[in-house]
Structure 1
Amino acid sequence: MNAFRLCGDMTHLLSVVVLLLKIHTIKSCAGVSLKTQELYALVFASRYLDLFVHFISLYNTFMKLVFLASSFSIVWYMRRHKIVRRTYDKDHDTFRHHFLVLPCLALALLINEKFTFREVMWAFSIYLEAVAILPQLVLLQRTRNIDNLTGQYVFFLGAYRVLYILNWIYRYFTEPHFVHWISWIAGIVQTLLYADFFYYYIIRGEEIHVICVSCKIAL
């Protein structure tokens, strides 16, 4: 495992920790899209079908269990926890996410590395992950009110994808015959979806910095 892959995994894990910290500690899911969280739960459930039949390493198994458990926990919190669910903004989180599932499944049936159930489900999870963030981005655009933890959550998710692209580039030049077109194209599409958020996240950070500096000068 190279440094880009490890940093990508840790950044992905950090995004989950940030979101769980917000939900569990603050008891709030304001600004968080339940539709995106349900899509991620479906992504991990369909990708890790080999969890108990194909052992790679303890690290690999641990990460799979963490992402499965955390994704379903977040969905449960947002749907069932009495306090947390009251903060859910269902009036703005109206993206019809089920319209993303069927096209991704159809694409997986048509374009996959091998036409078996597990491989089709793996391809489906890759395609679905590429667009799963859309409901979250639409929600943020509609509310235009990004709190610090929600912003960090989306930022770390985007950073994880960027680091994985660097991981693929590194492996392409260091490992013979390393070609995974499905992952590569889906990963690039997913990264492009984050581009607009990154721009406004950085601009917003600069504005906050300018305000803080101005306040200090005034004082």
Structure 2
Amino acid sequence: MESKMRKGRARPIRAVVGWVRRRSPKVKASLSVIAGMAALVFLRFIVHDHDKLFVIAEAAHALGISVLIYKLIKERTCAGLSLKTQYLTALFLAVRLYCSFVMEYDIHTVLDCATLATTLWVIYMIRFRLKSSYMKEKDNFAIYYVVLPCAILAFTVHPSTTHNLIDRISWAFCVYLEAVSVLPQLRLMQNTKIVEPFTAHYVFALGVSRFLSCAHWVLQVLDTRGRLLTALGHGLWPPLVLLAEIVQTFILADFCYYYVKSVVGGQLVLRLPSGVV
């Protein structure tokens, strides 16, 4: 009886997913934008303190890391995980922690410390304890493709605050790098085409985290009637901060769609069609 009720509830969702799947790429992109705007409106009315969205975003990231920890401890395998994404994650977290200590120390600093510590542990497990299951040949994204452009962009466009130049460049670098840090993981999943459950849960948690972080910035700009952009400085830096948040959200949007579709369909293993990521 309970299984029949679940199937009955899932049927309308499957119908909607099926309808979306049959639309053209342009229509899908338009629907994604509409869905994102609707979600922003929903969050604006149910979350009164929009600063909390950033904390929730970091909590979602921590939840994703917890899924990885479970996978590495219980499953004793790191198959499907990108070591290069973990390197990039550790790098932008370390830079962001440095900026937090020299610029502003708050709850985000504590959360970043915990996330960095667990990320370093994940790196240790993949490199040393479970290296026999690491898909090195599939994890073939060249990370200098993102590190160098982010560094160059940070030197060129950074905050115009009263902090010293190194601190301002570091702040910009971690913002840009975070936006693209998941690309090696997406490349690995595209190479394998099949994503096992725990890896899929981890990447979906990253997608949720990125969306909530983006929502935090967008809603803060709306709440302050644009004054937040002025507080961030002048020139290209304020719009690039928002662009970085939007980019990292849309990078994972396609994967999140197939993840939800897979969960609704009751599939434990996520199969990605060509060209998704």
SS in 2 for 1:48: helix
Question: Structure 1: how far apart are the matches of 2:241 and 2:73?
Answer: 33
Q: Map 1:165-184; keep pairs closer than 5 Å.
A: 165-175=214-224, 177-179=227-229, 180-184=238-242
In the alignment, what sits opposite 1:5?
Answer: 54
Question: Structure 1: how far apart are the matches of 2:219 and 2:145?
Answer: 35
Which of 256, 260, 271 pairs up with 1:198?
A: 256
- Please state if 1:117 is matched with 2:163: no
Question: Structure 1: how far apart are the matches of 2:189 and 2:241?
Answer: 26
Q: Which runs of 5+ in 2 are unaligned?
A: 1-48, 230-237, 268-277
Question: What is the percent sequence identity of the aligned residues?
Answer: 33
Q: Residue type matched to 2:176 in 1?
A: Y
Query: Does the CA-based 8 Å contact 1:51-1:64 persist in structure 2?
Result: no
State the number of aligned residues.
206
Q: Output the TM-score relative to the length of structure 2.
A: 0.69
Question: Structure 1: how far apart are the matches of 2:246 and 2:103?
Answer: 28
Shift of the 52–184 alpha-carbon distance from structure 1 to 2, 3 Å rule, reads: closer
Aligned-residue CA RMSD (Å):
1.8
Q: Which runs of 5+ in 1 are unaligned?
A: 210-219
Question: Structure 1: how far apart are the matches of 2:214 and 2:147?
Answer: 24
Q: Residue type matched to 1:78 in 2?
A: I
In the alignment, what sits opposite 1:186?
Answer: 244
- Please state if 1:158 is matched with 2:189: no
Q: Residue type matched to 1:60 in 2?
A: H
Which of 68, 92, 102 pairs up with 2:138?
A: 92
- Please state if 1:65 is matched with 2:101: no
Q: Output the TM-score relative to the length of structure 1.
A: 0.86
**What stretches of structure 1 move > 4 A for 4+ residues in a row?**
51-55
- Please state if 1:102 is matched with 2:148: yes
- Greater Rg over alpha carbons, structure: 2
Shift of the 164–51 alpha-carbon distance from structure 1 to 2, 3 Å rule, reads: closer
Higher relative contact order, chain-length normalized (CA < 8 Å, sep 6+): 1
